[in-house]
Structure 1
Amino acid sequence: MKSIRVFLVEDHNLVRNGIRTLLERQPDIEIVEEAQSVNETLEKLRSGIDADIILSDINMKELSGLDLINMIKPEFPDIRIVMLTMLDHENYIKQAIAAGASGYLLKNIDVEQMLFAIRHVSTGGKYICAEVVFEMLKKQLHSPVESAPGKVADLSQREEEVLHLIAEGLTNQEIADKLFTSRRTVEGHRQNLLEKTGTKNTATLIRYAIRNGVIS
């Protein structure tokens, strides 16, 4: 199995070391390089470092993580960028996604959600952590109603159960424990839900479910 090659960009040594330790325990993830700034990241990529995903903070000295996206995407378009930050303001999220980020995670998420995000993004998906999703959904649900939905996806009973638990904010491991199954099985159900509903991330999946009456 090919490993997911991750490049860590974080200017706090303690935080960076902690993230590296967590990711290095995963058999399918390889830390290929680390950097403390945007310029250092560019230098190492230009020297030939090959990465699938850049996991970067936003708040750094001199240039920010948003600058990193804008500077790296034109030169290295195939590298997917995931923000891992404490900044949960909607403007930062919109700017990051608009600039080309494939994911947006808060540093207070659990390890299972971070690992799922990395694996999902590595396959070409997009991911925004549940805490951010629910805050944005609160605002969206007060916006004007969108056009009528099309055909509702044919979900199995277990997929509907998983969807309800996702909407409650449970992690993959918590869902697995509740349903007496494995985390990998839950990840499979989550991926099936995204594919069946034609949605790209947790936010659009939950919005789809609400609009189509799957959850209320």
Structure 2
Amino acid sequence: MSEVKILLAEDHLVVRNGIKLLLDSQENFTVCADVNNGREVLELLKTGLKVDVLITDLSMQDMDGLQLVQEMNSLYPDIKVIVLTMLNCPQHVCKSFENGAKGYLVKNVGAEEMVFCIKHVHKGGRYLCEEIAMDFVQMSIEKHNCIPMPVDLSELDLSNRELEVLQLLSEGLTNLEISDKLFLSKRTVEGHRQNLIEKTKSRNTPALIKFAMLNGLIK
């Protein structure tokens, strides 16, 4: 994987330093700069700083995250924007993606999911954290009274091991926890998850879980 250059916008210094420490410890991740707000992001980019991914909070002084996402989409469309915030209401999620964000994470997200999100978005994907995605699924089920319809497993060609991994993913286990539980390597678990995403034509892991729920593949 090529190096991912990251710019971080977060107005709480302790939080910002913690995120920076985590990201800098990852192979192929480099935090090029970290700033307090959206205005500082734009001023820094005007100097010619080259970054691949911007991670920004929504609640910031001077220029909030939603306005920054909109400005980035207009001025720097090649830079992928990921929102990292405490706000988990549907309005903020939808508005962020509408303004051009490629990822949305809440601040209690695990390190593994954050790293996965950055890699996925950097490669051109979009990502909504599993916590919010599952809330959306539940709201959709309650609103539309969806009844899971079983699919023809022979058409999906899912192995028993893939179904085991799918079930554990739906229970909120991380790749590392699944690898320990099934006595597999973490890389093997990641491979099974990617196969599941490809076979079900899902966009990401939350979409995979939604597909599995609606089609009766998980308990």
TM-score calculated relative to the size of structure 1? 0.91
Q: For the Cα contact (< 8 Å) 2:10–2:36, is it kept in 1?
A: yes
SS in 1 for 2:218: coil
Residue 140 of structure 1, CA deviation: 0.9
SS in 2 for 1:141: helix
SS in 1 for 2:74: coil
1:159 aligns with 2:162: yes
Q: For the Cα contact (< 8 Å) 1:24–1:31, is it kept in 2?
A: yes
Q: For the Cα contact (< 8 Å) 1:133–1:202, is it kept in 2?
A: no
State the Cα RMSD in Å: 2.1
Q: For the Cα contact (< 8 Å) 1:56–1:82, is it kept in 2?
A: yes
Q: Structure 1, residues 140-168: CA drift from partner, whole Å, max 9, x if none?
A: 1123349x898752222222211111111
**Structure 2: how far apart are the matches of 1:52 and 1:149?**
41
Query: Which consecutive residues of structure 2, in runs of 5 or more, have no partner in the other structure?
Result: none
Residue in 1 that maps onto 2:100 = 100
**Structure 2: how far apart are the matches of 1:182 and 1:47?**
44
Q: For the Cα contact (< 8 Å) 2:39–2:62, is it kept in 1?
A: no
Residue 21 of structure 1, CA deviation: 0.6
Aligned length: 216
Q: For the Cα contact (< 8 Å) 2:150–2:216, is it kept in 1?
A: no
Query: Which consecutive residues of structure 1, in runs of 5 or more, have no partner in the other structure?
Result: none
SS in 1 for 2:82: strand
Residue 201 of structure 1, CA deviation: 2.2
SS in 1 for 2:84: strand
Residue 71 of structure 1, CA deviation: 0.5
Q: Structure 1, residues 33-79: CA drift from partner, whole Å, max 9, x if none?
A: 22211111011112211111111111111321111110111111111
TM-score calculated relative to the size of structure 2? 0.90
**Structure 2: how far apart are the matches of 1:149 and 1:80?**
37
Residue in 2 that maps onto 1:179 = 182
Residue in 2 that maps onto 1:195 = 198
In percent, how many aligned pairs have the same letter? 43
Residue 191 of structure 1, CA deviation: 2.1
Q: For the Cα contact (< 8 Å) 2:102–2:121, is it kept in 1?
A: yes
